[in-house]
Amino acid sequence: MDKRLLNILVCPLCKSQLHLDAEKHELMCKADRLAYPIRDDVPVMLVDEARSMSADEIV
């Protein structure tokens, strides 16, 4: 994932900054507890495609 792209992407739901989880290939929004998948190096920024994160993942 290009670091420049990560700097400009925000959560489509709340507009907060996203955090990269390189192991899981996801962009995480801690505010909404959503994880957006990255497929073939392209972030899928659709709320319907995001998964809910557990409380343990938020830390």
| Number of structural domains the chain divides into | 1
SS3 string, 1-59, reads: CCHHHHHHCECCCCCCECEEECCCCEEEECCCCEEEEEECCEECCCHHHCEECCHHHHC
The reported pTM is 0.91
The residue with greater pLDDT, 41 or 36, is 36
| Position 52 confidence tier, pLDDT thresholds 50, 70, 90 | very high
- The predicted pLDDT at position 12 comes to 96
Q: How many CA atoms lie within 13 A of 3 on its CB side?
A: 0
- The predicted pLDDT at position 10 comes to 97
The parent domain of residue 13 ranges over 3-58
Q: CA 14 to CA 1: how far, in whole Å?
A: 22
Residue 48 has pLDDT above 90, yes or no: yes
CATH number at residue 42: 2.20.25.10
| Position 53 confidence tier, pLDDT thresholds 50, 70, 90 | very high
